[in-house]
Amino acid sequence: CGIANDITSLNIFRIIQGAGGGLLTPVGMAMLFRTFSPEERPKISRFIVLPIAVAPAIGPIIGGFFVDQMSWRWAFYINLPFGIIALLFGLLFLAEHIEKSAGRFDSLGFVLSAPGFAMLIYALSQGPSKGWVSPEIISIGIAGIVLLTLFIIVELKVKQPMLDLRLLKEPVFRKMSLISLFSSAGLLGMLFIFPLMYQNVIGVSALESGLTTFPEAIGLMISSQIVPWSYKKLGARKVISIGLVSTAVIFILLSFV
């Protein structure tokens, strides 16, 4: 990404970067689930949240510094030594695990989902600037919806789907998935829109904009340390309810900024 010459090459390199990064989360979570029992997972989550919270908080600050003082390319170059260290650590210390029955790759689901999500996201992101009724947005949006509809039909029929939608028949899983969907959409949307607002509307520097993500990381780290205690004392329902109510109140307050 650091050697990109234009926006097209940067987007291509970012796609490759995203494909590689997308492999880390599911594989990492699978390794943790194999290693720790259900009773131990709330406790270990305290330590998992720390890098998850710290990295996105420090990243925009470092990136903002490079953009202001050096070049935006260094926001990508700085990741090289850390990536090499992580690669060596994985090769030396992570134990290999291969399933006896790996299953079959859902090629049809992949072919339908990849362009389907890409088209729908493009339509949603470009709609405000190009117009929601423009032929380009309407055609791409409808094509994305059609592909995702076919994807859902395929996933419900194949024996080994890429995304097992049949899990949504379980009430607890369905409700928690919906809660995670809406809460994550709000939180991640805020992380995206706030830096843009600070730079384009208020006119602060990239470094000052990056500093706005740090308070949320502090709150996330603090709350993650009390989750194991509150989970045992109050139960999952009350803990989740308190978190959702608190998040809703904060969103309401932020709407007046």
Burial class of residue 107 (count of CB atoms within 10 Å of its CB; 0-12, 13-18, 19+): exposed
Q: C-alpha 54: how far from its chain's center?
A: 15
Look at residue 148 in the predicted model and tell me its pLDDT.
92
Look at residue 144 in the predicted model and tell me its pLDDT.
92
Q: What is the mean pLDDT of the chain?
A: 80
- Report the share of the chain in percent with pLDDT over 70: 92
Task: Give the ranges where the chain is alpha helix by DSSP (H).
Answer: 7-35, 41-69, 74-77, 79-93, 107-130, 135-157, 171-197, 206-210, 214-234, 236-254
Look at residue 102 in the predicted model and tell me its pLDDT.
65
Better-scored residue on pLDDT, 239 or 102: 239
Burial class of residue 182 (count of CB atoms within 10 Å of its CB; 0-12, 13-18, 19+): exposed
- Report the share of the chain in percent with pLDDT over 90: 7
How far apart CA 240 and CA 220 sit, in angstroms, is 14
Tell me the pLDDT tens digit for each residue of 90-144.
Answer: 888 877 767 676 667 778 888 888 889 889 988 988 888 888 888 889 999 999 9
DSSP conformational letter for 95 = P
> Is pLDDT at 189 greater than 80 in this prediction?
no
Average pLDDT over residues 39-57: 70
Average pLDDT over residues 159-172: 84
Q: How far is CA 74 from CA 84, 132, 133, in A?
A: 16, 36, 39
> Is pLDDT at 77 greater than 70 in this prediction?
yes
Look at residue 143 in the predicted model and tell me its pLDDT.
94
Tell me the pLDDT tens digit for each residue of 217-232.
Answer: 777 777 777 777 777 7
Average pLDDT over residues 153-162: 86
Longest dimension (CA), the chain: 56
Joined tokens for residue 27: 């594989």
Torsion of CA 26, 31, 34, 40, to 10 degrees: -100
Q: How confident is the model at residue 27 (pLDDT cuts 50, 70, 90)?
A: confident
How far apart CA 141 and CA 135 sit, in angstroms, is 10
Q: How confident is the model at residue 195 (pLDDT cuts 50, 70, 90)?
A: confident
Find which of 21-25, 32-36, 238-242 is predicted with most confidence, using mean pLDDT.
Answer: 238-242
Q: Are 75 and 66 in contact (CB under 8 A)?
A: yes
How far apart CA 60 and CA 207 sit, in angstroms, is 8
Q: Are 113 and 38 in contact (CB under 8 A)?
A: no
Burial class of residue 152 (count of CB atoms within 10 Å of its CB; 0-12, 13-18, 19+): middle
How far apart CA 124 and CA 140 sit, in angstroms, is 10
